[in-house]
Amino acid sequence: MNLRRTLLVAGLAVTVSGAAFAQAWPTRPITLVVPFAAGGPTDVVARTLGASMSKTLGQTVVIENKLGAGGTVAASYVSKATPDGYTFFIHHNGMATSTALYRKLAYNPLTDFEFVSQAVDVPMTLLARKNFPANNFQEFAAYVKANKDKINLANAGLGAVSQLCGMLLENALGVKMTAVPFQGTAPAMNALLGGQVDILCDQTTQTIPQIKAGSVKFYGVTTKNRIKALPDAPTLHEQGLKDFEVVVWHGIYAPKGTPKPVIDRMNAAVRSALKDPDVMKRMADLGAEIAPDSKLSPEGLQTWLKSEIDKWGPIIRSTGTFAD
């Protein structure tokens, strides 16, 4: 058999085996890596989607919380994981902002991953501990400016959206506060509820229950427009922080080299989960919006991530915030 024919047959064999692999996939549980602590907003999105995808895929989607450095430890781990179709990663704006926050990352978000899909967009809320001496945003801003050296701002590390929101808030108010980093905003929220920290900007996927229970001070949402889940809550934009906007988007990734047929089937499972009535209700109750169809493709996520890196890079560099 001449070389050309041999290569052709070999190529065909690989294609068939690839298609056969994807057809059989998944044959065992899938891991979805979450870069922040269990119980936090990213974890809530992951477990909600994972439970629905487990039904669609016929295999359990196992959530693995891999903590540290604002999500970059998990991103680095997944970028080096075996691309066998059984390791996936969910992350938010931090996939973009970390490229400007860290002088050296152990991975390249644009070249070391396969792109599966976006999922949901989540507003943020500005909170303070229950007995914080400010009952509206104007009082909050005045108190922060007058006491900036005595108060602290909890976050989930450099690369977390709580840190991004806090940094933008400090910029807008012209202050610098002490940052208290945690391995996720689940522990940060516990510290806020316990009065150990003063301020936290966090996602509605964690904060809506606390706001409704009245267990924190709440000053507004970080979206341009008011949100259906908290219709009476003013935006920070309408309260004087003109154009202040942080919306937390979520992307799902796999290690570079994960077979495309598997990526396509995982994309279909994500899309199906986002149409699951239970998922839609839970996300709506928690203030999260299902991403538009244009963002629910591998190409849509890749294009969006690139645009976010281009958007946030100059903003972050202008604040001089870096991790070494």
Binding site for ligand ASP (CB under 6 A): 36-37, 40-43, 92, 156, 160-162, 184-186
Residue whose CB is less far from ligand ASP, 91 or 237: 91
Phi-psi region at 124: left, alpha or beta (left = phi > 0; alpha = psi -120 to 50)? beta
Closer residue to ligand ASP in complex, CB, 67/241 = 67
Measured from the CB atom, the residue of 87 and 203 that comes closer to ligand ASP is 203
Q: From the CB of 58, what's the least distance to ligand ASP, in Å?
A: 28
Q: Where are the alpha helices (DSSP H) in the chain?
A: 3-24, 41-57, 72-79, 94-101, 137-146, 161-173, 185-193, 204-213, 260-274, 277-285, 298-319
Provide, rounded to whole angstroms, the least separation between the CB of residue 46 and ligand ASP.
Answer: 9
φ/ψ of residue 180, rounded to 5: -120, 100
Cβ proximity to ligand ASP, 37 vs 78, nearer residue: 37
Query: Cis link prior to 26 (omega < 30° from 0)?
Result: yes
> Toward ligand ASP, which CB reaches closer, 153 or 290?
153
Write down the least CB distance from residue 43 to ligand ASP, Å: 6
Strands 113-128 and 289-290: antiparallel
| Rounded-to-10 torsion of CA 128, 133, 134, 139 | -130
Pairing assessment for the beta strands 152-155 and 113-128 based on DSSP bridges: unpaired
Q: How far are the Cα atoms of 136, 140, 164, 182, 268 from residue 69, in angstroms, in the given order?
A: 32, 29, 14, 9, 31
Least distance in Å: CB of 77 to ligand ASP?
17
Nearest to 308 by CA among 40, 124, 93: 93
Cβ closest to ligand ASP, residue 202 vs residue 276: 202
Minimum distance of ligand ASP from residue 261's CB (angstroms): 31
Cβ closest to ligand ASP, residue 98 vs residue 258: 98
The CB-of-238 to ligand ASP minimum distance in angstroms stands at 23
Q: How far is the CB of 14 from ligand ASP (least distance, A)?
A: 39
Strand, helix or coil at 196?
coil
| Three-state secondary-structure class, residue 119 | strand
Distance, CA of 42 to CA of 245 (rounded, Å): 19
